Amino acid sequence: MSKSALTFLLFPMFLFGSMASPVLALNTEPESSETKSEQEDDEVDIEELERQLDILAEEVERLRSGEPEVEVTDDRARQLGLAPSAAAVYRQQSGLSIAGYGEMLLENYGDTKQNGDPAGQTTKFDMLRHIIYTGYRFNDQFIFNSEIEVEHAKEAYVEFAYVDYLINENFGLRGGLVLVPMGLVNEFHEPTVFMGAERPVTENKIIPSTWRENGGGLFGAFDNVSFRLFFVNGFNGAKFASGGLRGGRQKGGKAKAENFAITGRLDVTPTPGVFFGGSFYTGGSAQGQVEDKAVTVTIFDVHGQAQVRGFDLRALYARANLGDVAELNETLGLTGSSAVGEKMNGGYVQVGYNLLSQASGAGGVALTPYVRYEKVDTQAGMQSGFSRSLSTNNTYTTLGIELKPIPNVVLKVDHAWVSNEAETGINQFNVNLGYSF
């Protein structure tokens, strides 16, 4: 029986008891020791009834306000494949939910050209993204969740939009435009969740965050173990480049679906704040554009994160293997060092420590210096007879600090040193203001 049902069954009984009990006080007969004992027992009963009525009043107020019976913690949200704000609809008993996040980014590249910028344009200030989550809980089993994103203050996208069917507390089905469940950032990309003014490069070029495709599948969680297994449309391999897989995302818009893929994830959470696991993706990407070939892409990653006593430790390694690369490069007309590689890999280790974590008077303020060391090579393996570019094998060292005056607002400042054998590396200074709600 639910708490609400129990409330309405018990309430008349408590009410009757509280109304009947004063009648005992009307007895005007001389008090015997037995009568006094009975009155004392009655007073105890009245106090207990009043206590239980207070509990009932709190229960009625909770039901009226629509608060959930079970709190969805951040760890539980992660098991569902959701960052904290993205899980807002799961904290509703019913009806509409609205949440969101955003971030503004200032980048300075010194005197070096970056991303095709003309010489002299060394600083950019960008309203990088603003997001609104909208969800609707139809009942205990059906939930709709979505993320609508505006990038660079003008470009609108649907980041995800799906329906969940909760079979029971351990299993659910999800279908729609779904996030590919890989890495530490792709599903958990709110700026108050990841450290760094910019996302790790590995989770941009090899796990191309934010990566979403049309499809669906199964998700679940058992105490300390969670998993997701989805069937989605494959990449569009005609958009691959020597710099990685990012261009091959189809983002749910009129996606080519000659080739499909399967992707999954398994995480273990031995204690709150700590988890580790792995994920994979495999499927064709030719989409009928490379004759008689599938151009199979297989990606796997291993990852871990620990947030304990002020420390924030994160690590990830990812590798991608591509099949039929010779035929793909021939179809795309790519030769030499501009060709798509057969193998790509990358990884990083990141450490931060909240200097105020042990300060009793900090009032929830967090001040966390961090350092990230990362290596990414998008041409780690090349087809026979093709040379590689020295500029696609890069080392990134990032040193920074983030300030959270409250958990939902963050200011991140960092400096990245990028080096490679081609000596085309850069020094990059970043400032990021982020928020979530």
The arithmetic mean of pLDDT across residues 167-183, rounded, is 97
112 — pLDDT class (breaks 50, 70, 90):
low
| Residue 66 confidence (pLDDT) above 50 | no
Q: Are strands 212-222 and 311-322 parallel, antiparallel or unpaired?
A: unpaired
pLDDT per position as a tens digit, 396-437: 999 999 999 999 999 999 999 999 988 887 899 999 999 999
> Which range is least confidently modeled, 33-42, 196-205, 337-346, 419-428?
33-42
- Do 70 and 395 touch, CB atoms closer than 8 A? no
Output the pLDDT for position 37: 58
**Domain residue ranges of the chain, discontinuous segments joined by +:** 3-65, 74-99+127-350+380-390
25: left (phi over 0), alpha (psi -120 to 50) or beta: alpha
Confidence band of 59 (pLDDT split at 50, 70, 90): low
Annotate 337-350 with DSSP letters as a single string.
GGSPPSEEEEEEEE
Burial 103-127 (b: 16+ CB within 10 A, else e): bbbbbebeeeeeeeeeeeeeeeeee
Report the alpha-carbon distance of residue 303 to residue 268 in Å, rounded.
Answer: 11
Question: Is the pLDDT reported for residue 8 higher than 60?
Answer: no
Rounded to two decimals, what is the model's pTM? 0.81
Q: What digits encode the pLDDT tens for the residues 215-270?
A: 999 999 998 999 999 999 999 999 999 999 999 999 999 999 999 999 999 999 99
How many other CB atoms are there within 10 angstroms of residue 42's CB atom?
16
Please count the other Cβ atoms lying within 10 Å of the Cβ belonging to residue 250. Answer: 21
**How far is 192 from 370, CA to CA, in rounded Å?**
14
For residue 180, give the nearest of 58, 262, 283 by alpha carbon. 262
Average pLDDT over residues 361-386: 95
Q: Give the pLDDT confidence score for residue 425 in this predicted structure.
A: 78
Cβ atoms of residues 107 and 432 within 8 Å: no
Buried/exposed 253-265: b ≥16 CB within 10 Å, e otherwise: eebbeebebebbb
> Model confidence at 63, in pLDDT bands (50, 70, 90)?
very low
Q: Percent of the chain beyond pLDDT 70?
A: 83
pLDDT band at 44 (very low <50, low <70, confident <90, very high): low
Tokens of 188: 């958990």
Q: What are phi and psi of 39, to 5 degrees?
A: -65, -40
What is the predicted pLDDT for the residue at 46?
A: 78
User: Is the pLDDT assigned to residue 302 strictly greater than 90?
Assistant: yes
Residue 292 CA: distances (Å) to CA of 163, 234, 284, 382, 409: 35, 16, 12, 21, 51
Residue 145 has pLDDT above 60, yes or no: yes
Tally the residues of the chain: 437
Q: With cut-offs at 50, 70 and 90, classify the pLDDT of residue 71.
A: confident
Q: How confident is the model at residue 4 (pLDDT cuts 50, 70, 90)?
A: very low
- Residue 352, pLDDT above cutoff 50: yes
